[in-house]
Amino acid sequence: MTQFQSIPSLGLGLGTKNRAGAWLEVFYPQLWTAPPQEVLQALAPLLGETGKNQTLSLDETKLANLKEVLRPFEWAAEFCELAQRVQGTGVEARALTLVWHDQEPLDVPQIYLNLHLLSSRAVKPHQINLSGIFGKLVNLAWTNQGPVELTELDQARLTARLKGEVLVVRSVDKFPPMADYVVPKGVRIADASRVRLGAYLGEGTTVMHEGFVNFNAGTLGQSMVEGRISAGVVVGNGSDLGGGCSTMGTLSGGNSVVISVGEKCLIGANAGVGIPLGDRCTLEAGLYLTAGSKVNLLDGQGNLQGQVKARDLSGKSDLLFRRNSLTGALECLTNKTVIELNLALHKNN
């Protein structure tokens, strides 16, 4: 079980509420990780118990109070500047949000702050608690005029037409495109609709048109992504995912193992990864490697050394997985140390 650190983060955000006053989404132009204890103590009269996740809707009075509380702290100059710019603009959906990285988020503003922290690289995948977020997020129409609740979509279309405008629905989802909220430094994204908010893209990553990156997942460095990085999957620096390939996630199908790909790996076109890979591993194009796959182990001369299940090779480096074109058998070329280790695991079989 993942052990999250008890670290706080603060966010000052502007969002959208429905007609009933419920939060739909929040954009955080200002966030800060691990503020000093004296800052949290100063915010306690506004937020209440700052040892727990908190969301404060800011009316004009509370916004003014926030500026006064933060004014003595030099680091908070950008927070104060944003509060000043927002004041009196007519934007009513404003939130001051505090999340602790080891606590389950309680509402939409807290979830969005967590997702911002990931996409802005303030935290890495699996470093922050995202338990239960699907049940708390709202399925929205993401349009060229912002998010719209589905029950209000027909009226929004009509309103736009009456103004001589067209409301374009780009997606209907619980997660917005990351690029509408955060664009981290040094990345290329060919189709922004295919990278969800909460994705973590390392500097130097390119996501091509058919690439997809889910939330709480992504790349740690320079990678070419032409396949799918499912929720929870982390890809190491220098690894490439070929066109149409996939990585098995943990959201469905009963898979409880978190898949990862090490550094300098190559996942061939239309291949699939169902086990964690170490560094410098290669999967042949079209080969889907599941945990239960029977794998023939070959030495450097192509001699059979034994057979294991793919799960027994989890996390091992310098492996080449291929399909024998004559027999159809799944083969792995590896080094002698890995072969001996995995054969030892099967002595009692």
Q: What is the pLDDT along the chain (349 residues), one digit of tens a residue?
A: 567 999 999 999 999 998 888 999 999 998 999 998 999 999 999 998 888 999 999 988 998 899 899 888 887 888 888 888 887 776 778 999 999 999 999 999 999 999 999 999 999 999 999 999 999 999 999 999 999 999 999 999 999 999 999 999 999 999 999 999 999 999 999 999 999 999 999 999 999 999 999 999 999 999 999 999 999 999 999 999 999 999 987 654 445 678 999 999 999 999 999 999 999 999 999 999 999 999 999 987 788 888 999 999 999 999 999 999 999 999 998 755 444 444 443 333 3
CATH class of segment(s) 139-173: alpha beta
CB atoms within 10 A of CB 55: 21
Q: What is the pLDDT of residue 342?
A: 42
243 known member of a binding site: yes
Query: CA–CA separation, 230 vs 7, rounded Å?
Result: 26
> Which 3 state secondary structure label does DSSP give 342?
helix
pLDDT given for residue 89 in this prediction? 73
Q: Do the annotations mark residue 322 as ligand-binding? A: yes
Write out pLDDT tens, residues 321-343: 999 999 999 999 875 544 444 44
**242 annotated to a ligand binding site:** no
The phi and psi torsions of 15 (rounded to 5 degrees) equal -140, -165
Q: Is 62 annotated as a binding residue?
A: no
The pLDDT of residue 253 is 47
Does residue 226 carry a catalytic annotation? yes
For the domain made up of 178-344, give the CATH fold.
UDP N-Acetylglucosamine Acyltransferase; domain 1 (2.160.10)
Judge contact between 260 and 230, C-beta under 8 A.
no
Beta-carbon contacts of 221 under 8 Å, excluding residues fewer than 6 positions away, are 202, 203, 204, 205, 236, 237, 238, 263
The candidate with the shortest Cα–Cα distance to 181, out of 110, 88, 117, is 117
The verdict on whether residue 76 carries a ligand-binding annotation is no
Q: How far apart are CA 123 and CA 125, in angstroms?
A: 7
pLDDT given at position 348 = 32
Residue 335 has what pLDDT?
56
Claim: this prediction has a pTM higher than 0.85: yes
Residue pair 284/323 in contact (Cβ under 8 Å)? The answer is: yes
**Which of the following is catalytic: 25, 226, 263, 331?**
226
Domain ranges of the chain: 8-132, 139-173, 178-344
Q: Hey, what are 308's tokens? A: 């294991």
Amino acid 301: pLDDT: 78
Class of domain 8-132: alpha beta
Contact criterion met (CB below 8 Å) for 31 and 120 = yes
Give pLDDT, residue 255.
Answer: 53
The verdict on whether residue 230 carries a ligand-binding annotation is: no
pLDDT of residue 304: 86
| CA 185 vs CA 123, 182, 221, 273: distances in Å | 15, 10, 12, 28
274 is in an annotated binding site: no
b or e along 306-334 (b: 16 or more beta carbons within 10 Å of the residue's beta carbon)?
ebbbbbbbbebbebebbeeeeeeebbbbb
Identify the pLDDT of residue 117. Answer: 98
Contact 333, 318 (CB under 8 A): no
Task: Report the candidate in 53, 81, 83 with the shortest Cα–Cα distance to residue 66.
Answer: 83
d(CA 55, CA 37): 18
**What pLDDT shows up at residue 188?**
95
